[in-house]
Copies of this chain bind each other. A is one copy, B any other.
């Protein structure tokens, strides 16, 4: 269990940001101390890093991320219940959630692949540009004599 400063260091977020994310219901630390200090588990940190990826790599808004995390949470909750309450309603619901989950994962994966494609193209362009610059520099150096 880690306190907020540690988590801030490990995730690269500010303490304010962590509190803000809790405020909007994005990520809630699993526990609190007697004196109401926030306590984050390793799993909490994992989730924070995951959502940082969604933010920084996919460029999703905090609201979009919230929905994604909510869906995942829902599924896990149902899975817990499923073991206790093994009825067909829960089963059908679980199948539905799994399909939803797969769908969003698929969507995100496609977005990632699209982006990677574009970024690879961009890297290629930069290679060309840089080559031209190097050539130009060489040319200028030669003309110095």
Contact = CB atoms under 8 A, between A and B. Distances in A.
Copies of this subunit: 2
Nearest to A91: B140
| Interface band, chain A | 35 or more
Contacts of A127: 109
A130 B118 contact: no
A6 interface: no
A72 to B, nearest CB: 10
Contacts of A113: 123
Interface of A: 53, 56-57, 59, 91, 94-95, 98-99, 101-102, 105-106, 108-109, 112-113, 115-116, 118-120, 122-123, 126-127, 129-130, 133-134, 136-137, 140-141, 143-144
